[in-house]
Amino acid sequence: MAAPDAKYAWRDLLTVPSLLSLSRAPLAVAFVFVVTEPRWALLVLALGGLSDVLDGWWARRFNQCTATGALVDGATDKLLVLSVAWSLWHAHLLTLEEALLLGVRDAGEVLVTLWVALRRDDHALHEEQRANAFGKLTTALQFTAVILAIVRVRHVELCVATAVVGALAAVSYARRARVQ
């Protein structure tokens, strides 16, 4: 977890966790081009998920948690989710409503971050927003819904469930930011 008085530093972009997080940016771009090729789309998605798990593990294991790393991790998560949802919608593998439902948690996190930034709460802004049970469940549901879309299985109910759990995750993040 980043220290309350942590500052953003360019040099922190060169740490292993930040580089792992940054690897999701080209994966987000690649997904656009492989969305209709299930094997490639699933590989890109798996690499994105692996980088998300490894960046956090490495940062905690080797004491490389930084405010910059937390920011990059969250931003690249959002970029990948946006790219995947847009690509699936554009390829007609999800409806617009389904794509929006999959992004409820991520949109909520962006709103919480903006709210904290507008409050000028440096402590809360620099705190790493670790996932809680709702956040982890949302990620699992998102991945499942996306995999089903890639293999062309209809799943509106799963998108709705993802949105409900995602909204609960966003509310819990907002409550945690308010308490800090």
The three state secondary structure string of 52-80 is HHHHHHHHHHCCCCCHHHHHHHHHHHHHH
Q: With respect to residue 95, please indicate whether it lies within any of the assigned structural domains.
A: yes
Domain count, the chain: 1
pLDDT band of residue 130 (cuts 50, 70, 90) is: low
pLDDT, position 4: 41
Q: With respect to residue 114, please indicate whether it lies within any of the assigned structural domains.
A: yes
pLDDT, position 11: 95
Q: With respect to residue 1, please indicate whether it lies within any of the assigned structural domains.
A: no
Q: With respect to residue 3, please indicate whether it lies within any of the assigned structural domains.
A: no
Share of the chain above pLDDT 90, in %: 74
Q: With respect to residue 5, please indicate whether it lies within any of the assigned structural domains.
A: no
pLDDT digits (tens, 9 = 90+) for 83-101: 999 999 999 999 999 999 9
Q: With respect to residue 175, please indicate whether it lies within any of the assigned structural domains.
A: yes
Burial 131-142 (b: 16+ CB within 10 A, else e): beebbebbbebb
CATH of the domain at 17: 1.20.120
Find the domain containing 17 and state its range: 10-179
Q: With respect to residue 19, please indicate whether it lies within any of the assigned structural domains.
A: yes
Q: Which has the closest alpha carbon to 106: 146, 34, 163?
A: 163
Rounded Cα–Cα distance for residues 136 and 142 (Å): 10
Q: Report, as an integer, the average pLDDT of 30-52.
A: 97
Helix axes 156-179, 133-150, angle to 10 degrees: 150
Residues contacting 90, CB < 8 A, separation 6+: 35
- Spacing of C-alpha 46 from chain mean position: 14
pTM of this prediction?
Answer: 0.87
Rounded Cα–Cα distance for residues 17 and 52 (Å): 9
